[in-house]
Amino acid sequence: MANDYYETLGVGRTATADEIQKAYRSLARKYHPDRNPDDASAKKKFQEVQAAFDVLNDAEKRKLYDQYGSNYEAFAGGGPTGGGPGKWTYSTGPQTYPFDLNDLFGEGVEGGAGAGGFADLFKQFGRGASARRRPQAHRGADLKHELTVPFATAVLGGQAALSIQRHDGKLETIHLKIPVGIDDGKRIRLRGQGEPGTAGGASGDILVTVRVSPHPFFRRTGKRLDVRVPVTLAEAVRGAKIDVPTPQGTIALSIPPGTSSGKRLRIKGHGVRPPNQTPGDLFAEIQIALPEGLTDEERQQLAEISSRHPQNPRTELRW
């Protein structure tokens, strides 16, 4: 048996148009699906309320309904009225129900939706609900890598390439700048080049730990460089000018006459030169290389020379 529209709206059969609209607004607010998204019974109730209001709010339809009951449409002489500006439809299954949101909430209410009525406010309510359901933004993950660079690149600075395996399996090559004078174990941060964020969140960073390859001849301590420089016996005895490579190019180094192995000669300003800092120094450690292929007679001559100048080079040697 079809529901009685008056009972559905909770009004009497003599109710005025204003009373019908007031009852409809109250029930529609209560049972509207957007306010009860998980309540199937509320959806059904809203459909019934909307169907009742569609008839009782129309003077011609109400007159036919009062005369013929639920079969009034057979005597209506035409279909349901079409929608106009501000008209919405709500449908489930084969039926579509037109309704006006301004009928639901009223127009021109103080503090309401303004000239557009509550229909505009209801649209904004829907947008607000969608915004609340929007996923929370999360920052992307940082990626950590180690990069080994040549000794010369760490001292002078330069460029390096880093291969990154992304979480999606893609291999990416990133070029980065190596600062002048970077120390072994220092970390370079590549901002925003890590994993992308979610829901509009910022990307993570790439954290690169720099490792410096050893050099076969040079050693480094902070801004200081040390290099072992071989010289011949004759150069050490007589003195000489020899070529010595440095980070800034080859220089001529003076070897004083009678220089012994282990002697360190300071070359000022030719060490590591970090930006905006005083340059370090280079220390050349002399190592005498004896001639190869000496005859017994030549070795005897050198021994006789040494015996005429007795010395103990190990006087300072201790644990």
In a domain, 297, yes or no: yes
pTM, rounded to two decimals? 0.54
Assign 157 a pLDDT band (cuts: 50, 70, 90): very high
Domain boundary (91, 112, 132) is at 132
- Is residue 290 located within the same domain as residue 188? no
Q: Is 154 helix (H, G, I), strand (E, B) or coil?
A: helix
Domain boundary (212, 227, 254) is at 212
In a domain, 93, yes or no: yes
Q: pLDDT value at position 213?
A: 96
Rounded CA separation 70/48 (Å) = 13
Q: pLDDT value at position 68?
A: 81
- Is residue 200 located within the same domain as residue 224? no
Range of the domain at 193: 143-212
Query: What six digits make up the tokens of 52?
Result: 């009742």
User: In total, how many domains does the chain have?
Assistant: 3
Residue 225 scores a pLDDT above 70: yes
Q: Are 192 and 207 in contact (CB under 8 A)?
A: no
For CA atoms 255, 256, 262, 268, give the dihedral sign.
negative
- DSSP alpha helices (H): ranges in 137-228? 151-156
In a domain, 24, yes or no: yes
- Is residue 89 located within the same domain as residue 44? yes
- Is residue 71 located within the same domain as residue 118? yes
Q: pLDDT value at position 104?
A: 47
pLDDT per residue over 18-60, tens digit each? 999 999 999 988 988 888 888 889 889 999 989 889 999 998 8
- Is residue 187 located within the same domain as residue 290? no
Q: pLDDT value at position 7?
A: 92
Rounded CA separation 242/158 (Å) = 29
- Is residue 127 located within the same domain as residue 46? yes
Which residues fall within 8 angstroms of residue 80, CB to CB, at 6 or more apart?
54, 98
Assign 170 a pLDDT band (cuts: 50, 70, 90): confident
Q: pLDDT value at position 85?
A: 43
Residue 293 scores a pLDDT above 50: yes
In a domain, 72, yes or no: yes
- Is residue 13 located within the same domain as residue 128? yes
Assign 120 a pLDDT band (cuts: 50, 70, 90): low
Assign 167 a pLDDT band (cuts: 50, 70, 90): confident
Comparing 124-133, 181-190, 234-243, 253-262, which segment has the lowest mean pLDDT? 124-133
- Is residue 193 located within the same domain as residue 233? no
- Is residue 115 located within the same domain as residue 28? yes
- CATH code at position 208: 2.60.260.20
Q: pLDDT value at position 253?
A: 97
pLDDT per residue over 48-102, tens digit each? 989 889 999 998 889 888 888 877 776 655 444 444 444 444 444 444 445 454 4
Query: What six digits make up the tokens of 26?
Result: 């109250």
In a domain, 225, yes or no: yes
Domain boundary (111, 132, 153) is at 132
Q: pLDDT value at position 3?
A: 79
Average pLDDT over residues 125-153: 80
Number of H helices, E strands in the chain: 9, 13
pLDDT per residue over 242-289, tens digit each? 999 999 999 999 999 999 999 999 999 999 999 999 999 999 999 999
- CATH code at position 79: 1.10.287.110
CB burial of residue 104 (10 Å; 0-12, 13-18, 19+): buried
Residue 290 scores a pLDDT above 60: yes
Q: Is 55 helix (H, G, I), strand (E, B) or coil?
A: helix
In a domain, 32, yes or no: yes
- Is residue 39 located within the same domain as residue 69? yes
In a domain, 138, yes or no: no
- Is residue 174 located within the same domain as residue 115? no
In a domain, 101, yes or no: yes
Q: pLDDT value at position 91?
A: 42
Assign 134 a pLDDT band (cuts: 50, 70, 90): confident
- Is residue 284 located within the same domain as residue 189? no
Q: Are 184 and 212 in contact (CB under 8 A)?
A: yes
